Chains A and B, each alone.
Chain A
Amino acid sequence: MTQPAAPEAGAGPDLPRPVLRLSGITKRFGALVANDDISLTLGQGEVLALLGENGAGKSTLMSILFGHYVADAGSIEVFGRALPPGQPKAALAAGIGMVHQHFTLADNLSVLDNVMLGTEPLWWPFSRRAEARTRLLKAAGDFGLEVDPDARIGDLSVGERQRVEILKALVRGARILILDEPTAVLTPQESESLFATLSQMVAQGLSVIFISHKLDEVLRVSHRVAVLRAGRLVAQMPSAGATPAQLAEAMVGQRVVKPVRSRGTAAPAAVQADGLSSAGVRDASTAPADPLSSEVHKESARSHEVVCELRDATVRGAGAWPLLDRINLGLSRGEVLAIAGVAGNGQAALAEVLCGQRPLNAGQVLLQGAPLPRGPRAVVRAGVARIPEDRHAVGVVGDLALWENAVLEQYAEPAFSHGGFVRRAAARAHAQDLVTRFDVRGTEGAGLDTVTRQLSGGNMQKLILGRALGGRTPALVLANQPTWGLDVRAVAYVHQQLLDACAAGAAVLLISEDLDEILALADRIAVIHHGRLTAAEPTERWTLARIGLAMAGGAHAA
């Protein structure tokens, strides 16, 4: 797709026909200023990209626009009329539609049912399905969003579900569409199709706010970019002519050193890490170039000693395809092997198998030549360091103290227990050591007794990294979406820790939906689709298009 033609309204704050005008929006949560005097306009037929790190205030701003929050100060005008604050219904009626990152669809209902849901008065005894179907098909035709109205949502792909979400907004009469991280769940091909839809929508006079933190994408689809940082609008510029480096600098505010591997065959364990690493040695010869690619190289330490091997590993599921379908994979000492794939294609089952939480139905897993023991405790003892996908749901017990979470995996080991009692002094000393070495912050005041839920995402992840990597040198590191939802600095830290573990001789299995992350870290990449894994090939042999094709199942097509 080519960049959509700029709308006649042009860019800049003084549009002739703004459909949406936010003036001086300020929102505080206690001491935190989530939005600080933000003024923005959106022109008709314009795609405005809203860019910012996690916690920059994008979601808060959109929640205010949509009536979920009430701003402490400022006003909103839609199509020239003031929008009453705090009323989602008013926002809907004014023609604002929102497509959330996590879909709000009922899986067991049809597309038509989902689109109709909530649009009909409850006191009316009959449902006007025929009329709704006509409207749905018209909207689908107008914007090139093909769907089968009678398909069950549960049977649709993620890309199709997103189309239903967009249709839901359009059928309700949305003229302004807010898309929250719409490409986060899509394959590259599905993203392309979304971009095509967007250009059709703006051609017909709709306006779009596109929330993202992917710089390339933002530059491609938007006419104008607004960058938020720490609650402030720090930059606004036309997309034409802007560079990723410019945007990144505006977004982050300062240079971020991002660890990136080089793929050479130099001596193993020759680690050159950046200042973020605790164990790394700074390489003076690496000259920073631009904000995001002041690359710090880590030579590949890959050897041919196989640490972990899966042989015909199969896990049957309740669905149409096995969760894992005869997977064969070998991980060598000192390499990062990444599993790419769209969420829900068997990654969870693979992670659970390696975490000791799920037995195989067929095949076997070998860790350093011996069968992987059963149960998480035995797996941890055998040298697997585990970084789970969901920090809050399985990574930590939020209501327990920080020090208790630090020993959550090892509390039953003799080092931390004696005669059925917890050796509190030893456990706390260990936790203190991890807090120091892994730079866990946010413990001022309560110290080790800080309730873990109160830590930020990044610090929680540091605690989990510390728990997994801190006590010993693991044989295998399983990192499942290790940087999901983290800010740029925390991402860099996590990446460096993984590379350090790798340099120390561990094999790292990285499961990620973020291709940038995979390309930056992996020595080899394999793609999973419907439980089947492609052969793992060196990163340089993949192209983005081939990965995308494999993610969509193309590698297995006849």
Chain B
Amino acid sequence: MRLERRAKVSPAWLLAAPFAAVAFTLLVSSLLVAWAGASVGRAYAMLLEGAFGSRLAITETLTRATPLILTGLAAAVAFRARLFNIGAEGQLYAGALAAVAVGGLHGGSGFEAPAWLLFPLMVAAAMAAGALLLLGPALLKSRLGVDEVVTTLLMNFIVLLGVSALLDGAMKDPTAMGWPQSVALQDALQLDKLVERSRVHTGLLVALALAVALWVLLQRTTTGFEIRAVGANPGAAGFAGMPVGWVTVKVALLSGALAGLAGAIEVAGRTGYVTLDMSPGYGYSGIVIAMLAMLNPLGVVAAAVFVAGVLVGADSMSRAVNVPTYIADVIVAVSLISMLVATMLTQYRVRRS
């Protein structure tokens, strides 16, 4: 067997690739479900119902999708410029912590400023924290050629350990009875609920608006043109006069800011404070989502809703048919791999020799 590059890449195949990948993923996962002793049909029915089958299910899925859209966008824009930001998880935590640092109830009251001033400050701090965290790896990459996959991945551990230290130290909530969690955010800074008696908050609208904005940026602006050109062929982009290093830095700031914003919006919209388990790997899932979306910002929304649905639906499936919730992680992981293979197959054909 060998791979041969296709002379022409069919647009229909490109469109079909994510669906084929998801179908293949469900096929593989059904083997595991069957192995766990459950009826495959019933398990998937429960998963679908748990994700989209009721008002509660839909709102829970959308709540979960909100940070995933943002981390997905963070990965998509960075990957477009061939800056492989694996550090969205750490940037998310940094953003969350910065948000609490600005808007938290330190010593019982916090900064005494009106919400209309404090809220933008809080968001700006979160975005700046995420952006700055990625600035180092981006500069190391553009100046010294240091591989950003390694640096951003390792930064995650540094950040998480740092967060852990702060939650037990400077940022610890004295009223939390010894739990390692941060002080709470001021009530005035919490995001409004979008649907009553649910957890969906206005952060979802922010995420959707940013997805559209990012699409416009990439497809319609000169900056987006630079990002796409630098990502696809830095040599040609540089020859044509594009500032390759500066584009990389700009993209890093944008990507880190989106991941940092995801942290702030999680705190302001859902948790109200920072804990070490506030993100079940949103940063890493963002990579899967970006790949499933083929780095298209609008596709990120759909992919995020899919992944959120799997995560939420797996909970109710697990309760109903007694398949461990880990199946959700398997589905997400397998879908990433099948998506990568499907993308490759749109570019190459397999020949038997």
Please report A residues at the B interface, Cβ cutoff 8 Å. Answer: 29-30, 70, 86, 355-357, 375-377, 380, 386, 388, 393-400, 404, 408-409, 411-412, 417, 420-422, 424, 451, 454
Contact = CB atoms under 8 A, between A and B. Distances in A.
B236 A394 contact: yes
Contacts of A377: 241
Interface string B107-146: 0000000000000000000000000000000000000000
A307 to B, nearest CB: 21
Contacts of B241: 356, 375-377, 380, 409, 412
B175 interface: no
A400 B225 CA distance: 9
Given A357-B238, A393-B236, A394-B235, A421 B9 contact: no
Interface in B211-263: 220-223, 225, 228-229, 232-233, 235-241
Given A375-B241, A376-B241, A421-B220, A411 B225 contact: yes
Contacts of A421: 220-222
Contacts of A411: 222, 225
B12 interface: no
A404 B223 CA distance: 13
A404 B228 CA distance: 10
B7 A30 contact: yes
B187 interface: no
Contacts of A395: 236, 239
Nearest to B223: A420
Contacts of A30: 7
A408 B229 contact: yes
Contacts of B223: 420
The list of the 3 closest CB pairs from A to B, nearest first, reads: A376-B241, A377-B241, A399-B232
A355 B232 CA distance: 21
Contacts of A70: 353
B239 A376 contact: yes
Interface residues on B, range: 20 to 34
Given A30-B7, A400-B232, A451-B9, A417 B222 contact: yes
A393 B237 CA distance: 10
B218 to A, nearest CB: 11
17 contacts: A70-B353, A355-B239, A357-B238, A393-B236, A394-B235, A394-B238, A397-B228, A400-B228, A400-B232, A404-B225, A408-B236, A408-B237, A409-B241, A411-B225, A420-B223, A421-B221, A422-B221
B225 A422 contact: yes
Contacts of A380: 241
Which among A375, A398, A412 has the highest number of chain B CB atoms within 10 Å? A412
A70 B232 CA distance: 32
Given A408-B237, A422-B220, 18 more contacts: A29-B7, A70-B353, A355-B239, A357-B238, A376-B239, A388-B239, A393-B236, A394-B233, A394-B236, A395-B239, A396-B236, A397-B229, A399-B232, A399-B233, A404-B229, A408-B229, A422-B221, A424-B220
B232 A398 contact: yes
Contact of A408 (B7, B8, B240, B353): B240
A386 B236 CA distance: 12
Interface string B1-40: 0001001110000000000000000000000000000000
B24 to A, nearest CB: 25
A137 to B, nearest CB: 38
A14 B283 CA distance: 70
Nearest to A85: B353
Contacts of A388: 239
Contacts of A422: 220-222, 225
Contacts of A356: 241
A400 B353 CA distance: 32
Contact of B235 (A355, A393, A409): A393
A409 B221 CA distance: 15
Contacts of A417: 222
B207 to A, nearest CB: 23
A423 to B, nearest CB: 10
Which among A393, A395, A400, A454 has the highest number of chain B CB atoms within 10 Å? A400
Contacts of B238: 357, 376, 394
Interface in B322-353: 353
A134 to B, nearest CB: 38
Contacts of A420: 221-223
A30 B240 CA distance: 35
Contact of A412 (B4, B222, B228, B233): B222
Interface string B68-88: 000000000000000000000
